[in-house]
């Protein structure tokens, strides 16, 4: 079974501050750059055969910091993107509420059932993450170790798809910036590590 070393992207800036981000791109902060180097140092001795990342720059830059130490190119894919939040992206909550009052009210009452106009359903996030896992199973063998860098939404989607978890489980995971999770995929998938951040000790 291939082992996926899954990393959430480093801390990034909301541009402007306080917006609902979703798939809006944003740069890494100064702390985020330090976090990326910290996880890169932790994973230096691993023998990765490939590195994959969301095509959003906050994930790609994190992946490149790690992959550079292994002399690997980073293959980007939109299958690992954060969940799209439709018309809410780029707005603050108060702006979303003012422009789409009924949609905002329904979204806040039950964000699973009621999505912002144009937003991606969580079932679809899990499905596209499953498509990525199918590619991994096709391209990589049992002994391969694969680096994957994504977002809270896509990492949760990977875990739910691999382990065949319910939709409600999608919201059960805490995932810090540059946290490390390890997922074994194959005939008997298993989550071996979740949200490990020991490499961030002392960073501020």
Residue 123: Cβ within 10 Å count: 12
- d(CA 121, CA 7) in angstroms, rounded, equals 23
Tokens of 175: 């995932």
Q: Could you list the beta-strand ranges (E) of the chain.
A: 2-8, 50-54, 74-77, 145-150, 180-185, 190-196
* Residue carrying the six token digits 């917006």: 19
Q: How many residues does this entry show for the chain?
A: 204
**Catalytically annotated residues:** 9, 151
Kindly list the distances between the CA atom of residue 87 and the CA atoms of 33, 90, 104, 117, 182, in Å, as whole numbers in the listed order.
Answer: 30, 8, 11, 6, 33
């Amino acid at each position: 079974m291939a082992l996926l070393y899954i990393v959430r992207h480093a801390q990034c800036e909301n541009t402007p501050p306080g917006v609902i981000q979703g798939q809006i791109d944003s740069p890494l902060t100064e702390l985020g750059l330090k976090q990326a180097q910290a996880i890169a140092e932790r994973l230096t001795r691993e023998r990765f055969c490939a590195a994959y990342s969301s095509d959003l720059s906050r994930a790609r830059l994190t992946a490149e910091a790690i992959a550079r130490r292994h002399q690997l190119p980073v293959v980007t894919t939109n299958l690992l993107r954060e969940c799209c939040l439709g018309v809410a992206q780029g707005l603050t909550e108060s702006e979303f509420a003012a422009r789409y009052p009924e949609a905002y009210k329904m979204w806040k009452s039950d964000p699973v059932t009621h999505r912002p106009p144009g937003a991606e359903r969580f079932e679809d996030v899990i499905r596209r993450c499953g498509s990525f896992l199918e590619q991994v199973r096709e391209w990589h063998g049992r002994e391969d170790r694969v680096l994957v860098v994504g977002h809270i939404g896509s990492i949760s989607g990977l875990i739910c798809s691999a382990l065949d978890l319910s939709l409600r489980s999608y919201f059960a995971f805490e995932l810090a910036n540059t946290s490390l999770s390890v997922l074994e995929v194959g005939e008997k998938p298993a989550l071996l590590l979740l949200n490990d951040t020991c490499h961030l000790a002392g960073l501020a």
